[in-house]
Structure 1
């Protein structure tokens, strides 16, 4: 834009000087006849200047038309990107629901293991049951194209958050797959992963507004009480979870609730 203004200024000054030298000054000082004489003597130069002026006007029109074409093409690309984003976002609620369902299944299994392990901590049967349950859980699949398109067409901030969730999902799937082998399930690790799975559910829930309405992704704040409420409502055994019942559980809940605060800020 600055280059165009500079070139326009140069041409304006140059042709202004030419007009003054060939027309205005001769007319003002020597009259009409003298002006015609000057034009006759400089007719080759004047013809060149007229041709140059015509070329400048033509170039200006061409540049303007090109700018309009570029603007129109940019607007078309923006509209197409918006349509593609809306189309991709239409599949996002289903993808999120599949991911959330799997996370809830993992939480429910880990919760049952935690409760059973409190009663008989030395029993390997609980680990075998947990491994069997995890091997039967249907892992989410088919979400990659939806995430890819949403990341591609969403605005930068939402795109970054979608990318972050996708990375967290890969980590979550990797950690949950460890429980398919009953020989590698330390009880403390299972307890931490129980809280972590709930933390991940809160993360997924933050994207539903964006998926349904296209609004900005607002990460849902989740304090410690929200974790205990979710733990209490996961099963149908009416087991109530609250702060102070288990110090190990409280420690993990505190850690992941603080992690939520860091993510939100």
Structure 2
């Protein structure tokens, strides 16, 4: 319910008590029915205004209730397509990881000048999630909408980085590939995977949404799903632990 409607309801309750006592309880307490009728007649204009005000408040609450139910129905309809959109994003993340891993391995090889194209193909960006996310953001509760919007922002950054990185592996490129930069891209991709994973139970209607800070193990789990074994990658493990602490421990 919007704050302004809540405020109006609170004011109605706060003013309704004294009004009820003044117009009904107290007149009956000090007099008979004739006295009560005389009080009502004396304050007829006030009573008419009060009844009109109460009627308008009831109508306002009825409209807001109807709008809220409509919003909930629209969101249920939009959420029905959310699992498919999330699954497509996970597939896109897996294909993206192939590009990043190959680029990372080649950047670490001092004998590789990174002047030849990557073998991994640049994955196509899925489009179904855009409309689904848009509808969910419009209809969902604020914390869900904020989470989806944040994913979209991070996804756009990832897409831009991946496209630029893929094109930099060519004879015409003058870019020097630094392993730490690509490592940060892998870290950001793992964060995206973790954020998307948080939505799956909610998208299926199994649980209410609760956005919690991502644990370091969430990143390690994403790495393992992309065949990056963190036990053999001390540099990536250390990078993840340091940057994870900076990113989430202070939120």
Which position in structure 1 is the counterpart of 2:197?
205
Runs (5+) with no aligned partner, structure 2: 1-11
In the TM superposition, what is the alpha-carbon distance from 1:241 to its structure 2 partner?
2.4
In the TM superposition, what is the alpha-carbon distance from 1:73 to its structure 2 partner?
1.6
Q: In the alignment, is the contact (CA less than 8 A) between 1:107 and 1:194 conserved in 2?
A: yes
2:61 alignment partner, one of 71, 78, 95: 71
Which position in structure 1 is the counterpart of 2:102?
112
Look at both structures and tell me which one has the larger radius of gyration over its CA atoms. Answer: 1
Which position in structure 1 is the counterpart of 2:9?
none
Q: What CA deviation, in whole Å up to 9, does each residue of 1:203-240 have, x standing for no partner?
A: 2211112222161133474325x5455434425xxxx6
In the TM superposition, what is the alpha-carbon distance from 1:169 to its structure 2 partner?
2.1
Which position in structure 2 is the counterpart of 1:35?
none
2:208 alignment partner, one of 200, 215, 218: 215
Query: Per the alignment, in what secondary structure is the counterpart of residue 204 of structure 2?
Result: helix
Q: Structure 1-normalised TM-score?
A: 0.68
> Is 1:133 the equivalent of 2:104?
no
Q: In the alignment, is the contact (CA less than 8 A) between 2:99 and 2:118 conserved in 1?
A: no
Structure with more of its chain in helix, by fraction: 1
Runs (5+) with no aligned partner, structure 1: 25-45
Supply the distance in 1 between the matched residues of 2:225 and 2:25 (Cα, whole angstroms): 79
Q: In the alignment, is the contact (CA less than 8 A) between 1:93 and 1:212 conserved in 2?
A: yes
Q: In the alignment, is the contact (CA less than 8 A) between 1:227 and 1:253 conserved in 2?
A: yes
Supply the distance in 2 between the matched residues of 1:85 and 1:142 (Cα, whole angstroms): 16
**Structure 1 residues 124, 175: CA separation in 2 closer, same or farther (over 3 Å shift)?**
closer
Instruction: For 1:84-99, list aligned pairs within 5 A.
Output: 84-99=74-89
Which position in structure 2 is the counterpart of 1:190?
182
Supply the distance in 2 between the matched residues of 1:14 and 1:91 (Cα, whole angstroms): 59
Q: Count how many residue pairs are aligned between Structure 1 and Structure 2.
A: 231
In the TM superposition, what is the alpha-carbon distance from 1:254 to its structure 2 partner?
1.9
Q: What CA deviation, in whole Å up to 9, does each residue of 1:90-117 have, x standing for no partner?
A: 1222222222222221112211233345
In the TM superposition, what is the alpha-carbon distance from 1:80 to its structure 2 partner?
0.7
Q: What CA deviation, in whole Å up to 9, does each residue of 1:177-227 have, x standing for no partner?
A: 221322336132223212322222112211112222161133474325x54
In the TM superposition, what is the alpha-carbon distance from 1:166 to its structure 2 partner?
2.4
